[in-house]
């Protein structure tokens, strides 16, 4: 059985949030070019779109996630802009967003949302969002079957909305293979066994 695809991109962002004492990390590969943005970099956009400051892209990502997290339980933290050098990911800059969670629902402890998609090479690239406000087991395979917050996240990832702003993840997020995403597969909500163990729930 073959292992995971090798990582081709040499840049990524690592967004951190804290829910009830546990740090969760959301990582995205991307291309970077030097710029006057507060982070020092712009995104590299897919064909047909324009680059934006990495801080703009990060704020857009936090903004689309805000409705599924509650500020009582969760705080959005720093985002590390990183480069892979000599076998390790090192910080190029650190950015602090002003975006805050807006959900009125409590944190779904030890639950996770997984967005599954494929890139243009037909390789999978899931995104796991831990301990959101969703504590209902579900699997959805169409955009129309999603409620507004989850649908907006899908639009951010896959460019499936009526408009696609340049800061949308669809325009700059890359897969491990260094290409862009093209096909939505599913959104799944379920308990997360790793978090259950960490929190002493099993």
Q: Is residue 133 within 8 Å of residue 149, measured between CB atoms?
A: no
Q: Is residue 201 within 8 Å of residue 139, measured between CB atoms?
A: no
Task: Judge whether 1 lies within some domain.
Answer: no
What is the C-alpha to C-alpha distance for residues 8 and 179, in angstroms, rounded to an integer?
9
Task: Judge whether 94 lies within some domain.
Answer: yes
Task: Judge whether 173 lies within some domain.
Answer: yes
Q: How many residues does the chain have?
A: 202
- Give the range of the structural domain holding residue 138, as residue numbers without chain letter: 11-198
pLDDT of residue 3: 66
User: In the chain, where does DSSP find H-type helix?
Assistant: 54-65, 148-158, 169-172, 193-198
3 state DSSP class of 117: strand
Structure tokens at 166: 């340049």
Distances (CA, A) of 167 to 37, 45, 184: 13, 9, 19
Task: Judge whether 3 lies within some domain.
Answer: no
Tally of domains in the chain:
1
Residues 6 or more apart whose Cβ sits within 8 Å of residue 2: none
Average pLDDT in the chain: 97
* pLDDT tens digits, 66-118: 999 999 999 999 999 999 999 999 999 999 999 999 999 999 999 999 999 99
* pLDDT tens digits, 131-173: 999 999 999 999 999 999 999 999 999 999 999 999 999 999 9
What single string gives the DSSP state of each residue in 2-28? --PPPP--SEEEEEEEEETTEEEEEEE
Task: Judge whether 95 lies within some domain.
Answer: yes
Task: Judge whether 54 lies within some domain.
Answer: yes
Average pLDDT over residues 37-46: 98
């Amino acid at each position: 059985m073959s292992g995971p695809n090798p990582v081709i991109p040499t840049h990524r962002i690592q967004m951190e949030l804290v829910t009830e004492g546990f740090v969760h990390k959301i990582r995205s590969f991307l291309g970077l070019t030097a710029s006057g943005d507060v982070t020092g970099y712009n995104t590299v956009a897919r064909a047909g779109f324009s680059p934006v400051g990495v801080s703009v892209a990060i704020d857009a990502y936090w903004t689309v996630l805000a409705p599924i997290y509650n500020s009582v339980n969760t705080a959005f933290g720093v985002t590390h802009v990183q480069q892979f050098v000599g076998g390790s990911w090192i910080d190029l800059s650190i950015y602090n967003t002003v975006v805050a969670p807006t959900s009125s629902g409590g944190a779904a402890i030890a639950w996770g949302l997984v967005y599954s998609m494929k890139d243009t090479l037909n390789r999978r690239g899931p995104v796991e969002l831990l301990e959101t406000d969703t504590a209902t087991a579900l699997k959805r395979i169409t955009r129309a079957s999603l409620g507004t917050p989850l649908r907006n996240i899908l639009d951010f990832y896959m460019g499936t909305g009526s408009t696609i702003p340049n800061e949308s993840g669809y325009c700059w997020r890359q897969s491990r293979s260094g290409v862009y995403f093209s096909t939505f597969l599913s959104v799944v909500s379920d308990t997360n066994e790793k978090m259950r163990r960490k929190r002493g729930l099993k």
